[in-house]
Amino acid sequence: MAERVGSRTDLSQTVFGVTFHSPVLLASGTCGYGQEYADLIPLDDIGGIVTKAVSVEPRVGNPPHRVAETPGGMINAIGLENVGLEVFRNEKLPWLDRALERAQVLVNVVGRSADEYEAVVSGLDAEQGFLGYEINVSCPNVKGGTMFGTDEAVLGGLVRRLRRATERPLVIKLTPNVADVGVFAKICESEGADGLSAINTFPGMVVDIDRRVPLIGNGSGGISGPAILPMGVYATWRVRQSCELPIIGIGGIRNGADAMQYILAGACLVQVGTASFVDPNAAVDVHAGIAAYLERSEVDSLAELVGGLAFPAARK
């Protein structure tokens, strides 16, 4: 668990016009607003954090149970409980601005309508303490009933609107709950997004066979953890085939080897989520694991390996 920052290998990545000194970020929903982890891990030793989702109004979230372990992972249905735009802007963001020097901050944004997404972005855009936005499109669209991220026209319209609302980096967190994630990646690129997070949780359900009801209070939830690692790697590769945007790989990463799968498949940054619940130090260890891989491979710079997967190209 040696700290590799400052060693010979270069893990930094220049993305969205800034330098991430580490490619490892903490995933939205698993690190609160950063403060919760500040006593446990050196946040500036990793590349950055993606905040808990922020909506216009505070949200109270779903009834329990909200989380449970599943084979190879966990299910969650928190219901996007969050403090809302006002408290985030007045209390959480100033803390991030003060506390972090090197770690970058992406603010995860949710809404029930395009208006709500835009209100959050517009409400934060002039503030300090963050780099850009990660847009969570795995939310039900109150108007259409489908999720923003599963309807090509709705997603395109949302990205177009948010693009007009901000010049900051705009990253769309894709849902895997579609036939071909590459199609949705391409739409985001066409509408002016700066990057893509691949991927959000998979929809799932656990049945309590004694009570004959869903175990999770919400009924269904999102599956995360190592169970979805290969699906996330595949989605990353599909997105890489479909567009030129920088990709943040996410889904089931526990160690440097897992992260390298995403990086070779095309991701330039990665996020560690559920693994932080198992070990708060997971993201720091993932960073060290990537550094060890580079040294072992005698590669000086991580950037050389992004998308370095030799895929049998003839089989399309």
Residues that bind another protein (CB under 8 A): 29-32, 36-37, 39-40, 52, 60-61, 63-69, 71-74, 76, 78, 81, 225-227, 254-255, 274-282, 285
Least distance (Å) between residue 110 CB and another protein: 14
Least distance (Å) between residue 29 CB and another protein: 7
Which residues are marked as active site?
139
Among the listed residues 155, 150, 135, the one whose alpha carbon sits nearest the alpha carbon of residue 54: 135
Q: Which residue has the tokens 């390298």?
A: 260
Select 93 or 275, whichever has its Cβ closest to another protein: 275
Select 221 or 249, whichever has its Cβ closest to another protein: 221
- Structure tokens given for 177: 């709950």
Least distance (Å) between residue 276 CB and another protein: 7
Q: CA-CA distances (angstroms) from residue 199 to 22, 86, 292?
A: 20, 28, 25
Select 58 or 157, whichever has its Cβ closest to another protein: 58
Select 132 or 222, whichever has its Cβ closest to another protein: 222
Select 194 or 285, whichever has its Cβ closest to another protein: 285
